[in-house]
Amino acid sequence: MTETAEREKLIEVKNLKKYFKVGKKAILKAVDDVSFHIYRGETFGLVGESGCGKSTTGRTIIRLYEATDGEVLFEGKNVHAKMSRKELKEFNKKMQMIFQDPYASLNPRMTVKDIIAEGIDIHGLAKSKKERDEKVYELLETVGLNKEHANRFPHEFSGGQRQRIGIARALAVDPDFIIADEPISALDVSIQAQVVNLLQKLQKERGLTYLFIAHDLSMVKHISDRVGVMYLGNMVEVAESDELYDNPLHPYTEALLSAIPVPDPNYERSRERIILKGDVPSPVNPPSGCRFRTRCPLATDICAQVAPKLREAREGHWVACHLYDDEYKHAFNK
Ligand SMILES: Nc1ncnc2c1ncn2[C@@H]1O[C@H](COP(=O)(O)OP(=O)(O)O)[C@@H](O)[C@H]1O
Ligand SMILES: [Mg+2]
């Protein structure tokens, strides 16, 4: 038995679908039959171009959206099941989210103290005003800010500091699982590493599990244990981070990787770049069969007819592509 087989799955996403009604009749399939799991204590990176359904997946996992179909299990319990208020509160305490835009996600009229203490108040985690204050000061220290910042307002802070406030707010209820939805995309490059380092330090200290969403594969590589690649509402590849970078199987993943510049100029010159043709099709009217086929350099007839299933092509390495499908791989001259 491999090590991974013994690890506890904190989150299990099973055939998750999230459709949105747009206009009078149209249905937008933002997330369409996505399955994956996240082990306790790991960072699972979720990548893909803008609009492929990463945020919707995160938001449905954390119950900000109801699922259209499928389920999400947290510690084995269906998060979309009917819950009593007490259960719901308990559940909300375990899962927190950090948002991309640290400004829009912080109430401009509230002091930093009240922003951070919101969860403490909701969950009754402080018995007195003094204890509440102390908890807030401790959280500020934890994220690299200090007590003097407590009575200020969000606009008085830089982007990086605001993101630290967002992190402190998430930590206030002592969660097990944090979804970080492009937490550094809006920050200056010089600040990005600091926030990533902080998230990693907190993970180590507190045994946190992360779903780390990003559109940039190079970013996710360093922080993630495993990575999932989404395309137009589907999960097309899942593997351990190093394995995914060393042996990408899906043509889409290869294309994403080839877009990342490498520091070695000789290698940079010699390597083959895969330029994707066209734009991502609309999730209102996705292509038949494999959704990537309209942009795939290797697509054949079968790709328009049959949607490939996610299958384990190498140990722990899953891919949804007919190239690796025993039934159909003969259709390719590869
Ligand atoms: N609340 C919503 N109502 C309608 N469409 C939405 C909503 N949220 C997201 N979408 C659409 O769902 C698709 C996936 O969006 P999103 O999950 O935000 O992608 P990503 O985070 O990967 O950029 C996009 O086409 C987006 O326009
Ligand atoms: Mg998003």
What pLDDT, on the 0 to 100 scale, is given for residue 6?
Answer: 75
What pLDDT digit, counting tens, does each position of 189-216 carry? Answer: 889 999 999 999 999 999 999 999 998 8
Q: Answer whether residue 4 shows pLDDT above 80.
A: no
How many domains is the chain built from? 1
Confidence of residue 277 (pLDDT cuts 50, 70, 90): confident
For the chain, give the percent of residues with pLDDT over 90.
78
Domain enclosing residue 188, as ranges: 2-332
What pLDDT, on the 0 to 100 scale, is given for residue 267?
Answer: 64
Confidence of residue 219 (pLDDT cuts 50, 70, 90): confident
What pLDDT, on the 0 to 100 scale, is given for residue 209?
Answer: 98
Answer whether 58 contacts ligand 1 (Cβ < 6 A).
no
What pLDDT digit, counting tens, does each position of 8-19 carry? Answer: 999 999 999 999
What pLDDT, on the 0 to 100 scale, is given for residue 278?
Answer: 81
- Mean pLDDT (whole number) for 270-294: 86
Answer whether 104 contacts ligand 1 (Cβ < 6 A).
no
- Check: CB of residue 200 under 8 Å from CB of residue 223: yes
- Mean pLDDT (whole number) for 301-314: 95
In the chain, the amino acid numbered 289 is: G
Confidence of residue 173 (pLDDT cuts 50, 70, 90): very high
Q: Return d(Cα 89, Cα 157) in angstroms, integer.
A: 31
Q: Answer whether residue 328 shows pLDDT above 60.
A: yes
What pLDDT digit, counting tens, does each position of 93-103 carry? Answer: 999 999 987 77
Answer whether 281 contacts ligand 1 (Cβ < 6 A).
no
What pLDDT digit, counting tens, does each position of 134-164 carry? Answer: 999 999 999 999 999 999 999 999 999 999 9
DSSP letter string, 42-105: -EEEEE-STTSSHHHHHHHHTTSS--SEEEEEETTEETTS---HHHHHHHHHHEEEE-S-TTTT
For the chain, give the percent of residues with pLDDT over 70.
94
Confidence of residue 334 (pLDDT cuts 50, 70, 90): low
Six token digits for residue 252: 């889409």
Q: How far is the CA of 179 from the centre of ligand 2 (A)?
A: 12
> Best substitution site from 17, 21, 28 to test ligand 1's pocket, by max atoms within 8 Å of Cβ?
28
Confidence of residue 2 (pLDDT cuts 50, 70, 90): low
What average pLDDT does the structure give for the chain?
92
Q: Return d(Cα 10, Cα 89) in angstroms, integer.
A: 18
Q: Return d(Cα 56, Cα 220) in angstroms, integer.
A: 18
- The position carrying tokens 């690890």 is 7
Q: Return d(Cα 292, Cα 303) in angstroms, integer.
A: 9
What pLDDT digit, counting tens, does each position of 246-275 carry? Answer: 999 999 999 999 877 666 666 666 666 677
What pLDDT, on the 0 to 100 scale, is given for residue 275?
Answer: 74
Q: What is the CATH number of the domain that holds 281?
A: 3.40.50.300
Q: Answer whether residue 5 shows pLDDT above 60.
A: no
179 DSSP β-pair partners: 97, 211
> Best substitution site from 20, 65, 230 to test ligand 1's pocket, by max atoms within 8 Å of Cβ?
20
What pLDDT digit, counting tens, does each position of 26-66 carry? Answer: 999 999 999 999 999 999 999 999 999 999 999 999 999 99
Q: Return d(Cα 15, Cα 308) in angstroms, integer.
A: 14
Q: How far is the CA of 316 from the centre of ligand 1 (A)?
A: 29
